[in-house]
Copies of this chain bind each other. A is one copy, B any other.
């Protein structure tokens, strides 16, 4: 059993890591930290986890996190992650970071959308943790920047079409809808039950910080700079992201070419499931799992293709993907501890 630790374990992604790792056959969580819950027992903060780990929250400190761990998950806010990760790496552990701090190859892009980067020397080394694109590099990485939830759903929807040059990259519009766990466990009027229930809304229209992250990966897939329009929305449900992606087809591209591209690209992918023709997925069918389910349709009336992808934002969009990355880094099967069927209903 490989010892691992979790920094910032009291938020929703931290809980999801604990949930998944409590059933993982090859690793053992030795240390959890949380500034807010320091000193408290895991079962008191999360009664759901009583009997699933006799742990107490410690302060978020590099020595505590590396004392008995070969790998550390950092589930900290942006900025806090890059503050601590260099000292974790210095102590010889490997890191899967769930913040945005190490997802960008170009510090100036990060700084344009987020803030000053305090460890830009690590950006070249860090690997973007999307296994369908970077499986081999993840396995060898010392530091993995775990993808954002929206980017995971959008990049997986677009990758086959861009790589095969079937769509006009400049026409991509990504309309995404997320459950409320994506906003975290912190308190805000926008996550108050009565403000969310029975309400549906858009937010950060054309200015959400996941935009440049998506564009970085789509540009690499297309072999040229790509800019997209991205609109996130908040759905009155706890988990799940559905992204509806629109793009103009290149001349001469028909339904069969699109279908072939998806099947060819994802032929052996463990955690991508392509829907049967005519079926479109619901977020329910992947809930609690690491799957991304994808469907598509070409519209000859307008020459567009519409791709729909669904993930669980906490699992595939955060902690499940982080465990998958850990599996690759530690040489385990990609799906170790991630085999359970989705939750439905």
Contacts and interface: CB of A to CB of B under 8 A. Distances in A.
Contacts of A273: 47, 50-51
Given A233-B244, A238-B193, A244-B175, A48 B342 contact: yes
B199 A237 contact: yes
Interface in A1-57: 12, 15, 18-19, 22-23, 43-44, 46-52
B283 A201 contact: yes
A163 interface: no
A175 B176 CA distance: 10
Contacts of A276: 43-44, 47
Interface string A281-303: 11111111000010101010110
B342 A340 contact: no
Contacts of A227: 301-302
Count of identical protomers in the assembly: 4
A337 to B, nearest CB: 10
A344 B48 contact: yes
A199 B284 contact: yes
A236 B233 contact: no
Interface stretch (A90-98, A121-129, A144-152, A182-190): A182-190
A197 interface: yes
The 9 closest A-B pairs by CB, nearest first: A199-B284, A201-B282, A194-B345, A206-B299, A187-B187, A48-B285, A175-B175, A199-B282, A48-B342
8 contacts: A19-B343, A23-B340, A181-B194, A185-B194, A199-B282, A201-B281, A206-B306, A229-B299
